[in-house]
Structure 1
Amino acid sequence: MRQEVIIGVERRRRWRDEEKLAILDEVGVNGATVSDVARAHDITRQHIYQWR
């Protein structure tokens, strides 16, 4: 019996407080939504909600 092992790239990143605050500050600027900002930084919306 053959099994396939899928190995992916783990994407655990560390964010400094200054980076988090800068990303949070982008929400609402020129009508940017949480989704827009999350997409621009390749993170989930949940990250932004947790950081708030």
Structure 2
Amino acid sequence: MHNDVVTDVSYGEFVMRGEILGVERRRRWSDEEKLAIVTSVGIDVATVTRVAQHHDVTRQQIYGWRYELKRKGLW
């Protein structure tokens, strides 16, 4: 259960209104999970965009993981 919080922030004559629905947590991915996601690009013509959407990550994360895994010698 979470509490809804509504905030108003005023900047001169503009008012920004935002709603906080809950606490987001950072997900942690093991090197094995990252490798599985990165290597799934290209299988059955899967694009980086399609793989990212399927795993609910950004394209930039996949490219970053690819770079990181290459640097570690895992890919």
Larger radius of gyration: 2
Task: Name the one with the larger strand percent.
Answer: 2
Task: Name the one with the larger helix percent.
Answer: 1
**21, 41, 52: which one aligns with 2:55:** 41
The structure with higher relative contact order (CA 8 Å, sep 6+) is 1
Normalising by structure 1, we get a TM-score of: 0.83
Normalising by structure 2, we get a TM-score of: 0.59
Identity across matched positions, percent: 65
Aligned residues: 49
Q: Which runs of 5 or more residues in structure 1 are unaligned?
A: none
* 1:1-52 paired onto structure 2 within 5 Å: 4-5=6-7, 6-7=19-20, 8-52=22-66
Cα distance, 1:10 vs. partner? 1.1
